[in-house]
Chains A and B, each alone.
Chain A
Amino acid sequence: MSFIELQNIAKAFDGVPVLRSVSLTVERGELLLLMGRSGEGKSVTLKHIAGLLLPDHGSVRVDGKDLSSLSRRELRQVRMRLGFVFQGGALFDSLTIFDNVAFPLREKLKLSEREVKARVLEQLSLVSLTGAEQKLPSQLSGGMLKRAALARTLVMEPELVLFDEPTTGLDPIIARSILKLIRDCQQRLGFAGIMITHHIQESLAIATRAAILHEGRILITGKPEELRRSDEPFVRELLDGQVTQITAEAVATYSTE
């Protein structure tokens, strides 16, 4: 039995289908890269796994438990085992970075303040944020925000981490450092991960498996090298077309100025 199992999930918003029949499995300890064009439903898929959305059809199982059939209390227990790194970080803007990372430890694990401090400082050092403890999220750069969000997620030692575009809005160098950090943390802590990102080539280098979502279905799954060898036109477009797309976007931007 796989750790995460999505079986034929379908979801529509206001009658518009986003997911038509998505089936996907994730094993413990693997890092799956979920790719696809914008608006294909990648974030929606992640939110189904986190139990933030329920499918119209199909089932989402986490460690064998069907999320649709769980009570709210049981769902909270399942969520305790998951971590979610949001695109914008979702840090509490009224709390310092220390308090943000300490929040789940204080509220959920009820640890002593001494233990909280030790674990928070250890986590911040893991993501190279030592010294930024007393800063507010508004005082951090984009890359630091992503690191802080990662620290808050990992401090609870989750078994599965869902990364919703952790590199969006970052320059290529910072994006690469965040991806390297994710790989290092994943290897050290051994969690399973599902990641959405538009930095495809760099992400393929750290992923153990990849899946492509297209027109509401999983088009193909496989190891990164298998996808790189694929002749499927859409796969080729996605893997090779990044530079072309960026150039086209840049041209469009400049032409409107």
Chain B
Amino acid sequence: MPDQYQNFVLARVQLFGRWLRRGVEAIGAMSLFFIEMVMVTATPPWKLRSILYRISFIGFQSLIVIMLTGIFTGMVLALQGYQALSRFGSDAFLGPLVGLSLIRELGPVIAALMVTGRAGSAIAAEIGVMRTGEQIDAIELMGLNPFRYLVSPCLIASLICMPLLVALFDAIGIFGGYLVGVRMLDVSAGTYFGEMVSYVEMSDILGGMYKAISFGVIITWVSCYKGFNSARTSEGVSKATTEAVVISSVLILVWDYFMTLLLF
């Protein structure tokens, strides 16, 4: 009986050890991937055609989803905010509430989650299929660095597109808030925008942009890493895509907390 107990405990300890080792290995591999991604992106030559293609893919093709989520986020924020504020007779502060919530928090986070779902998943799948089809091996065997063709353009495009998408999300969200607050709930337009201008500071806007840039890095890093390391099967690619979206989304929310702690 004690032997059985000992074996049981030993098996659990082994299992934990294996899990821990895999975790440490994954963190190490992801860190090395991050370093190479930054190093390659920071050094020329930059592949202009690939960068433009990625800007179109990550930025332009995300416009509709960003505008749709932006306007409804602003509208719901105004609706909820108005109901809460009017209880205290503070409905004049609807503009700052919508503006600050969007610019500091909801704009960067929701836009990043949308880009993760739309572009991050596609990047992971595309690179995963290239890994399965040995196209990445082919690039390496030509004596070329696949990071320069597959990862670096995505990172540069994310750094350019994310702040712009977030700015668009914020602007459309504020407009959505205006539609509900001013047009539906009769807050005066002057109060809505006037109070917003008084309360929203440049540091809020910059904080939101810093968040957007860092979220762009997270999306590219995780999506490309997962694609690069996907198993060479269709199931492997599908798993890599799912993991890319889940890990990116979780990391965005966790990182958002620390960014908020640091910035505001």
- Chain A residues with a Cβ under 8 A of chain B: 50, 52, 76-77, 79-80, 82-84, 86-88, 90-93, 103-104, 107-108, 156
Contacts and interface: CB of A to CB of B under 8 A. Distances in A.
A234 B138 CA distance: 34
Interface residues of B, number: 11
B23 interface: no
Given A84-B137, A90-B137, 11 more contacts: A52-B137, A77-B143, A80-B143, A82-B141, A84-B138, A86-B134, A90-B133, A93-B135, A104-B142, A104-B144, A107-B144
A160 B134 CA distance: 19
Interface string B129-147: 0000111011011111100
Interface of B: 133-135, 137-138, 140-145
Contacts of B135: 90-93
Contacts of B134: 86-88, 90
B17 to A, nearest CB: 16
Contacts of A76: 143-145
Nearest to B148: A107
Those 5 A-B pairs whose CB atoms lie nearest each other, nearest first: A90-B134, A90-B138, A80-B143, A76-B143, A79-B143
Contact of A108 (B133, B140, B142): B142
B246 to A, nearest CB: 25
29 contacts: A52-B137, A52-B140, A52-B141, A76-B145, A79-B140, A79-B142, A80-B142, A80-B143, A83-B141, A84-B137, A84-B138, A84-B141, A86-B134, A86-B137, A88-B133, A88-B134, A90-B133, A90-B135, A90-B137, A91-B135, A91-B138, A92-B135, A92-B138, A93-B133, A93-B135, A107-B142, A108-B142, A108-B143, A108-B144
Contacts of B143: 76-77, 79-80, 108
B19 to A, nearest CB: 16
Nearest to B145: A76
Output the residue of B140, B141, B142 with the most chain A CB within 10 A.
B141
Contacts of B144: 76, 104, 107-108
A71 to B, nearest CB: 13
A82 B140 CA distance: 11
A108 B149 CA distance: 13
A52 B137 CA distance: 8
Nearest to B47: A107
A104 B140 CA distance: 11
Nearest to B132: A88
A77 B140 CA distance: 11
Nearest to B53: A94
Contacts of A156: 142
Nearest to A82: B141
B138 A86 contact: yes
A104 B141 CA distance: 10
A79 B138 CA distance: 11
A52 B146 CA distance: 13
A103 B142 CA distance: 9
A104 B143 CA distance: 9
B21 to A, nearest CB: 14
Output the residue of B140, B142, B144 with the most chain A CB within 10 A.
B142
Contacts of B133: 88, 90, 93
A50 B142 contact: no
A241 B227 CA distance: 41
Contacts of B141: 50, 52, 79, 82-84
